[in-house]
Structure 1
Amino acid sequence: MDKLLTKTFVKTLALHQLIYERSGGRLGHRVPRMPPSLLLRCTGRRTGQPRTSALTYASDGDRYLITASNGGARKAPAWLHNVTANPQCEIQVGRDRIPVTARPVYPADEGHARLWEIVNEVNNDRYRAYQRKTDREIPVVVLSPSG
């Protein structure tokens, strides 16, 4: 992806998150031709400040699945480090806020292959393409309701 396209994409994602947050979840959960998204609220591991990320998700029973792909970048997304340091988080799915516990599941972990197929299917096979772009092992993060 060239720099202009990347910049535009990042701005579009930021606008999506802003609309999702400002509308209280009335807008942003479902966008035409896109997988559903949630807001992950966690605590910054270094700053202790609240952090929010809009992320595509899939469901596995009552659990939510997100993928720390970062578009196939060499570096993992900051939110992965935050939830690893403090797994007690909150997600917002539409208007619903749900306390969750986050658990990264890496390719060597039991059950990863099944979870990977679930998230990859919901995201139209994009995660497989992201994994091919990087040597970093991309985990699926399981968000289990804790309330």
Structure 2
Amino acid sequence: MPKPPAPSSLFWKLHRRLARLNTVLFRRTRGRVGGTYFGGPPVLLLHHVGRRSGRARINPLIYLDDAPRLVIIASKGGVDTHPAWFHNLMAMSATEVELPGGERRRVRPRVAEGAERASLWERAVAIYRPYATYATHTRREIPVVVLEPAGGSAPEGR
């Protein structure tokens, strides 16, 4: 399978600006704006620290509420690589997420496997069908990340 062309630097600049705008709208409206993905599934803000840069980062991500856990899908990466936020998150023992309504939760990440992964994947695809489509365009198994509740209030690396 040929490798798809890398997005241009203009694409990434636009992507970063839209993510920042989404974050501002999400916070100012307590999730009423920027709290869903194109009017569909709910979005949370994931706080993580760049492994190379050491800089604090925030990614708006679609999530599945599996109380008291949250579930996110590491879909958008390369054909055979996971996205940078996934690697950053998995390098941290705990971090913080912001949910619509202004709620903040401290969480510990882990990757779901086996039957748990299959069950959560089906539920996630039911709320956001493009996950299944994306999975047909990659050679990697797309991780299903479970965010378990963790104690404390400030994210690691801040």
TM-score (norm 1): 0.81
The partner residue of 2:130 within 126, 129, 146 is 126
Identity %: 36
- Paired residues, what number? 143
Aligned to 1:33: 39
Aligned to 1:115: 120
Aligned to 2:145: 141
1:29/1:38 contact within 8 Å kept: yes
Distance 1:59 1:24, change over 3 A: closer
Deviations 1:20-75 (A, max 9, x none): 24545453224663210000001222233211100001111211110000067443
Pair member with larger Rg: 2
* One-letter amino acid of the counterpart of residue 76, structure 1: H
Distance 1:79 1:21 in 2: 20
Q: What's the RMSD between the two structures over aligned residues?
A: 2.8
Q: Which runs of 5+ in 2 are unaligned?
A: 152-158
2:77/2:83 contact within 8 Å kept: no
TM-score (norm 2): 0.76
Q: Which runs of 5+ in 1 are unaligned?
A: none
Secondary structure of 2:136 counterpart: helix
Aligned to 1:104: 111
Higher helix share: 1
Distance 1:87 1:117 in 2: 27
